[in-house]
Amino acid sequence: MYSSGQREQTVNLLAFVYEGSNPSARIMFNINLPPIECLVRGEYLRNLEDSFDKTFPCLIFGMSSIPGKVPLFHFMMEDGGIWWRMPISAFCSKSDAPKQELIDLVLWDSFSYYPSVTVFEVLKNKKIEYTSRHKEKFTGTYLFTLDWASGDPNNTDHGFSEKPGQHKCGHVIHLDNGNYAIQPNNRIIVRDPSFTASYGKMLIERKINTHEWSVENSPKWITENSDKYYYEIQ
């Protein structure tokens, strides 16, 4: 019996994914971020008890993703101190930035322990407008995008991270008012002077996609059972 070249390739890829007993927990959970030079609000360094009128320069460099919690950020301060797992509401780019509730800055908690971060070139430095839970509109500049999936093939509970009708990504935005926000696709609109000629006009009422797209789940085709490099599809 011979397997097709395609089948051998798939087996090799799976063998790589399964190295070690739990490789995914080793590679994910904490991730590097494009560095953000900003300010951290003093009360977040004091357990929200005092120092509400103080801000300190800091450098955000990483993030933790824990289901049931908002994305949590790691940063370094000018005295060399390192601080872990602060919400996006802890940070601002100017000391007089208005304080906003976390629920107006972030719409969803993290979807899994396996985040990714991507700076999409098409979105880089673009102006973005989003609508908060209280239906207020805020504008800012795109920084990068967080996304989630299940990185452990032994984990059969993916939560909503891989459900097409429930999954969301999170675009990190530097707001014009000095705060930072994380918003999904269906709460933002992007301004691109060379492309979005119909900016602000809804061209079609989009519906949530519930389909899973695959070309390997059909019983109507199979590869021939031979060792040919250019094997036939039956």
Q: Is residue 215 part of a domain?
A: no
Handedness of CA 175, 179, 181, 187 (dihedral sign): negative
Q: How far is CA 182 from CA 62, 88, 171, in A?
A: 15, 8, 5
Q: Give me 23's structure tokens.
A: 């490789």
**pLDDT tens-digit profile of 61-116?**
999 999 899 999 999 999 999 999 999 999 999 999 999 999 999 999 998 888 99
Q: Are 118 and 144 in contact (CB under 8 A)?
A: yes
Residues 6+ apart with CB under 8 A from 171: 123, 128, 142, 144, 145, 146, 182, 183, 184, 185, 188
E strand or H helix at 8: helix 5-17
Higher pLDDT pick, 16 / 161: 161
Reported as a single tens digit per residue, the pLDDT across 19-42 is 344 444 445 789 999 999 999 999
* Assigned domain for 178 exists: yes
Into how many domains does the chain fold?
Answer: 1
Asked whether residue 227 is domain-assigned, the answer is: no
Q: Flag whether 135 is in a domain.
A: yes
**Digit-coded pLDDT (tens) for 44-70:** 999 999 999 999 999 999 999 998 999
Beta pairing partners, 41: 55
Answer yes or no: is 224 within a domain. no
Q: Tell which residue, 110, 108, 92, 96, has the closest CA to residue 44.
A: 92
Mean pLDDT of 144-163: 67
Neighbours of 83 (CB within 10 A): 16
Contacts with 110 (C-beta within 8 Å, 6 or more apart), sequence order: 65, 66, 67, 68, 69, 70, 71, 148
Domain around 185: 5-191
pLDDT digits (tens, 9 = 90+) for 177-228: 999 999 999 888 888 888 877 777 776 877 877 777 777 777 777 777 777 7
Residue 222 placed within a domain: no
